A and B are shown apart, each in its own frame.
Chain A
Amino acid sequence: MKFKISRDALVPVASVLAALAIGAILIAAQGHSPLEVYKVLIVKGFQSTAGLQATLSKAGILIMSGLAITFGLRAGLFNIGAQGQVLSGALAFTYIGYRVHGLPIWIHLPFALLVGALFGALVGGFAGYLKATRGVHEVISTIMLNSIMAAVVDYLTQNQFRLKSQPNTRTPDILHSARLPHIFGFPTGFIVAVILAVVVGWIFRKSTVGFELDTVGKNRNAAWYAGISVKKSIVLGMLISGAIAGFTGGMFSAETTGYFVPAFYSGIGFDGITIALLGRANPIAIIPGAIFIGGMRSAQSAIQFQAGVSPDIINLLLALVLFFATAPLIAKMIKSNAKSITTTSGWGS
């Protein structure tokens, strides 16, 4: 069997190397040893069992939120405010998770996740409905809904859903029957995320719905001529994107947080955008990127503690990787034929 490495596959690898090289200069400029920092990054993020667990657990959440954005992008929708959907899904999940007693785990957990997804879908779907029927752009509506959901969630956490015995604003603990068990210490959320990625991939490759959404995303007029209901596709696209975001919020609560405090979830929706773009809106291609970023994130604290470098170096590296992976610089240098793929087509009015 011949093993031929495509030049295209080299692009992301070279991008990471280039980013690390520039990062090294910045680290050295602050008087630290880049080698030391990168050693910590690899050891803490990928070598130790605990590190790998943390990495995959983070990667799972990144994959899911990336899928939420991806689903929208493929249908020509930029769900920039997925954060609001994540929050509402997470709080709905938590509520079912602590309020409903006496169910076995195989009913309680899926049921709570479903409710979480449903609430995410409600928020996302509302934005889709506004776009389809009233022409309200999803970038406006989801950004506004972000702030509205943040306020609603804050109100509920401080009042109806609050754990009264604590002076701090938080919900009661989610029952064990709604917590995600680890299988042999392996983060289950990661497995679920990969399965979800495969399913989303299948939807776009094989199913009629996926084909219709893709067509609407690529060319709305062509879709219209082909007899595809553009309005229905818009609502559906936002509905499912929101459902995945809400599901992500639920999964994060089930696997990691165990109760709800709004601050736990900050940044999940926006991370999804970065991941989706890094994977060029391809459901399967976002997986390696998510693992890589998950690893960097889980090593972040150790970098500061053991190498004395500000953990913000990780965000810098992330930006540089995204830059090199998408700018045609590297692709040209190693003579790859990979075109700079366009994932979004403008505002997709």
Chain B
Amino acid sequence: MKKSFIAGIAAVSLAALGFVAAPANAATNDDSKCGTAGLICIGVVTDIGHVTDKSFNQAAWEGAQAGAKAVGGVANYIESNAATDAEYGNNIALFAAKKYNVIVTVGFLEANATVAAAAKYPDIKFIGIDQFLDTTKTTPNLAGLNWHEDQAGFIAGYLAGYMTKSGKTGAVVGLNIPPVYRYAVGFANGVAYAGKEQGKKFPASKIIYHPAGDNAFSDPAFGAANSAQLLSQGYDVIFAAGGGTGNGGLARIAKTKGKYCIGVDVDQWGTVPEAQPCLITSAEKLIGAGTADQIAKVKAGTFTGGNVYGNVGIAPYHTFASKIPASVQAKVTAITKKILSGSLATGVK
């Protein structure tokens, strides 16, 4: 009995060991006045990820908060625990019951549930992130917010094409799903374009996908080992894109002198600080800004629904601003304009 007591204590103190990591979600906004005219209440339903995933769920949540702040509204989130339409539907219903008037659903897994909920709650505006809509079947209170990831990838690849000394570049990415594919192939095409511009023939940029499975985006050891393999074969600019898997790659590349890495989705200078020694930029899709923008449209009454595209680009160079030649920076700025205006195609379908 005594021994069991000791072990019980051990179990509890093990739990207490985590005391350094204090409360999780501090952002509980008062939503008791939701439903009064003019007040915008925004609910974010994440897909199976958390709002602290350093990636798109987090960016969407930050965008919702920024949007709420700009219009003097309220923002809250629910993290989904199972990736099913029923779960998403229930979570949306929780917001609807509290008279929220804008609901943001994050990720293509929620596409079906969002379409159904938009039809069910015509008074609520829905913003579906990474959800490409079949607009013949959707209601006007739903906007599918997408990004041209291939454009962000292309610009980053173009920069990589000017930064590489060996001409060898690569991408270590998560699961081969459409947004990841667009990033990676856009990157490869950008490198090739920069090569052609310099009159050099670079070998094709190498794309390494994670094997399928539940852990494709949360396998930092995989990202690290694969990046190391590329590094040891002379690849000197590597695009590491894919949640925890990519972050592992970034951290590993940062340990090798003279090599460059490129992050993804958000400016990873802030989210993965250990990558700072190598992180020349990140291929960004401005999820937060896109979300906040839609919220502002709701407030202004100009929300139209349908498929809309948010902005993409690359993140600031931070300390590399002094190391990347000014001529290259000028070229990147020029190509960014061309790509975003559509006058130059990325070659990714």
The reply to whether A and B meet directly (CB within 8 Å) is yes
A residues lining the B interface (CB < 8 Å):
22, 26, 29-31, 50, 54, 57-58, 146-147, 150-151, 153-155, 158, 165-169, 256-259, 261-264, 266-267, 297-298, 300-302, 304-306, 308, 310-311, 314, 323, 327-329, 332
Nearest CB in chain A: distance from B211 CB, A: 6
Q: How far is the CA of A196 from the CA of B86 in the complex (A)?
A: 24
Is the CB–CB distance between B109 and A263 below 8 Å? yes
Question: How many residues on chain B are close to A (CB under 8 Å)?
Answer: 44
CA–CA, A30 to B112, complex, Å? 35
Verify A304–B79 contact, CB threshold 8 A.
yes
- Interface contact A300-B81, CB-CB below 8 Å: yes
7 extra interface residue pairs, beta carbon distance < 8 Å, beyond A50-B90, A301-B90: A155-B212, A166-B132, A264-B109, A267-B214, A297-B81, A323-B11, A329-B4
B40 to chain A, nearest CB (A): 18
B25: interface (CB < 8 Å):
yes
* Contact in complex: A150, B213 (CB < 8 Å): yes
A-B contact pairs, 16 of them (CB 8 A): A26-B15, A30-B22, A147-B211, A150-B211, A150-B213, A166-B132, A168-B111, A168-B178, A259-B112, A261-B109, A267-B214, A301-B81, A301-B94, A304-B25, A323-B11, A332-B1
Measured between C-beta atoms, what is the minimum distance from B150 to chain A in Å?
A: 12
Contact B134 A165 (CB under 8 A): yes
CB pair B214 A266 closer than 8 Å: yes
Q: Which residues of B contact A (CB under 8 A)?
A: 1, 4, 8, 11-12, 15, 19, 22-25, 28, 48, 76, 78-87, 90-91, 93-95, 108-109, 111-112, 131-132, 134, 175-178, 211-214
Q: How far is the CA of A234 from the CA of B38 in the complex (A)?
A: 67
Question: A262 — which chain B residues lie within 8 A by C-beta?
Answer: 212
Q: Check A54 against B90 for contact (C-beta < 8 Å).
A: yes
Q: Are B178 and A146 in contact (CB under 8 A)?
A: no
* Contact indicator B85/A257 (Cβ below 8 Å): yes
Residue numbers in A under 8 Å from B93 (CB-CB): 50
Partner of A304, one of B12, B78, B82: B78
CA distance A57 to B91 in the complex (A): 16
Contacts of B25 in A (CB 8 A): 304, 308, 310
Q: Chain A residues near B91 (CB, 8 Å)?
A: 301, 305
In angstroms, Cα B1 to Cα A58, docked, is 37
Given contacts A153-B212, A166-B132, A168-B178, contact A305 B78 (CB under 8 A): yes
- Interface pair B79/A311, CB less than 8 Å apart: yes
- CB-nearest residue of chain A to B81: A300
Distance in Å: Cβ of A304 to nearest Cβ of chain B: 6
In the assembled complex, which residues on chain B have CB atoms less than 8 Å from the CB atom of A167? 132, 178
Say how far A175's CB is from chain B's closest CB, in angstroms: 15
A308 touches B28 (CB 8 A): yes
